[in-house]
Structure 1
């Protein structure tokens, strides 16, 4: 056997042993024998670098140092899941699905929701080429070198995998491994880690991959994104296992909400026997075709729901109620608590939401309160322990004036919160708007964070986001924690933001009620800022999904001279305030005023492309058929109930070819 064959033979053998041990949990050789073979492979690879292979098992020991983790845009967005907490929530979700899909049999897959750090792995021709953290769902940090050290992540696949796809999962730290890490830390006189989830997440950003390799991280996979021949989520779970991924077997195919609840009730009890932390069950519509038909909201897939197990509760003392001012002037009361350990983290503060919530709970400073993590993330006070209330506690009087600028608070009819109306003079509102402007989903200005914004404002260098564009290196360098390089990076980051597209600039302006999705719709409808600024409330309401409240807010924003002045300044500095030529290309008004439903499988273009064509030509894509529907574009395998409903309501049913001819 020649050297190349020997190296390949060792690689294949070690891959198989890795798979048996870390994925199947079925070791076929001893650790000592494995180490001997690995050392032999490393020795041969060092002597013969011409046979380098990026998927070699020898790379799993780490050693590469990453100084900066590059930000990478996800080819397929990573959405978050809607949460449910009761059978009623699930039944409501099921009704929405049936309404959208019509009278068809729907199956559901139930899988455990593992509590770790979300990851997206990209494979091309069966080889791992990229690993990216979830980030904000649109983009994350590339951590490929660190992920390669995790033994359960296949570097090379087997079987009939697609030529290119992304697979999503969780990087988790098994409880045994976490306990061992903490034992060693305490023996070395170091503080223990707080919880497995945060430790797993932090591990992905360690600069030295050799340190990551020493941690007992695991990777559990559960869904793929990108073209494939698979037809259901259940098939995804089975097939990805065959390709070499570690896919949990604790899953069930269900046909009714009762069956789903049986799965949830079983694991609510038995999850404590698992080697990993779980915080709920994920329920997905099984058919991938149905998933595609149901689509997404601006944040979540309509075809999936997370059922969260009952949150952990603790009691502690409420020391003081303070008040925070948001960028819109909204006042949020905050409970400052005696520190208490809750779900693996120390909690010192919890939101009290608004004056009504304080009155409803009758919560007072000095009370002993029950705290839980809403959705296991944000702590909230759920009740007062009246048995422990001291006799001298006075009812909470909600503040009447802004704690930051002294302006009298107002509360409009229908608003849950009180507001400070000093929009341009209240410091937290000013800095909050600038912090929103620079945030990742908005202008994404590198080198500039929230603390730096506060510092720049405090030093009188900025009063609104337009001021960012006239900052100089010389102004920034004298500031605390600012060296020449960081000052240069800040100025460069601000200049680079001039390339951010119009819809994100519109979101960055911070118009009340204009989130990411609304900003995209407004940008598409009006094409540029001048047309939007000149629009009336009626013209705004005519845009798909723009209601009266949003329209009022937009008109009000552009009626304010200071806002108009800021926009004009931003325009003069070169910020993008119109759709690009590329975005405007192929856009027409041919389908203006038409509401179109797309259903079934198509031959010439995908369903997603069809929806884009509708929107590019001025039409509205609707998910369900009603009397307002103009056309139903019917593909192969369309549910019979949709056809029946369209015929009953007299909606025109057209083919894919008919539609393409229309545009």
Structure 2
């Protein structure tokens, strides 16, 4: 086939603007789409395989958008179209598929004598051999199958015999062609390694940190998590790449080198660091050179693979049940606890605190791979005199939290300049001793998105369906610009979102509506008052009775509540004094009426201790805890020998039920709990 004919108008000088699709008839649209697909495949080949792009990003994007418009307007579906890379319908689970040929592992060692012993075994069996050496990529191995030149399926390595069908996800990886080029075989199964380039990984981790998500530990974890996403559109958004290095079935070659040279002719990307050497000394020297280059590569490697070049000799050597006898991996030594700072991101927390985070070349510290480490605060950065590019030592506080301990080699001048404006909302940064805070409050998107997620969380208003991904989608769609907007959501707006139907839209709107008259303690937790968790919130509710009374309480009044000291009282007062927080709360109160709490404590449950688990139908867990505490009982979070009753709703936690069994604690379901209270004269009717 001809991928990019000379007369294709979209190859050399593609337009950046097109006339409306309505000006074309169906025949013209089909021909234009055919030319666009061919041109885009060619540009992909030039960019990903030859690393020599012919057009700029703007021109390429214009071609891609035009093809999308044509396919949508004229229903021009094509299985191998480049537009299919944007994803597809989510899957509930991955099917397993048997490999065309076994995907074996490779024997390995980090010791040179073991490598020389491998060479001796080879020479004893098939005489002196040349070797092909290639980087040992630290990614996810896959089998990709093409039939009649078209992408058919992709399967993870799995156990070597069968793997997970990740066809739709792998289709989104731009460097994996949907259609082969040149004189390809009718059937081809190839093995490749999907990976996330280091620079893209660092940029992606920075985005995750700045929006409050956990960073991936290393590129391999990021790749593995991405390739097995149940929603292909999520995979499409993440920066994956792929190198191919083996033909499993469909084509015969004389040498490994010939195969390596042919794969690009079919449009399959290979690594340019592959070398052919004369003997094992050359292979060992190659490994040493790659070890020196390791930190300069834009992909993670953990060693090199040494393969007998002559494929007839490989056939004679054969394989064991788990590994070929013609290949050996010479591993690199484990990274020390020194590593390089690749970037410094500033994460904005729900309370507005700005925390600098060093994004690192992954390093194993105490048996755990670390790719990010806290720099704590601006003063710590200045004290360490740390900047991007510096070599640092990393430790784990209490063997848990990674942090940068010291700079061992300065590769930059000066130190990182902590921002004086929030990296998310551009509000001024305020200092409180060594700590820095965004002054934007709930008007800051980073704080606001996390605040919305917290608002609907189980510990707050328990709005079912308002998870992290949903909140992100609502913000991306422009349906949320503040907490009060939750109560403006409509079934019509939600039904138009990708992956939503009328039923899921109705469910979320109903769940939000059910949160219009929240328990006072739950509401105090939900709006994110600093230092106010469920226990303090219940204490405030019982003491003051109404939201307005809590909001207007002085520092002295707040300190009258048992367990609240000067520091917590100041935090609460400053929260309610914030003009931006006042605006958000005023907007919420147009939709929400926090319920008045009972302030008179009874003694009907004096001396009893309750633990709650699972979801209750007639009240929230917070309401149940507040109810028993109001009548003299204690409500704790874990079961012990001091627990009198475990109240178990739907989907109870296993650890709590097991704790109840171990400590002979009676377990009450919701009906039994309500009967227990009513026997003691405690009203349990839902308001």
TM-score in terms of structure 2 length = 0.46
Q: Which has the larger radius of gyration?
A: 2
TM-score in terms of structure 1 length = 0.47
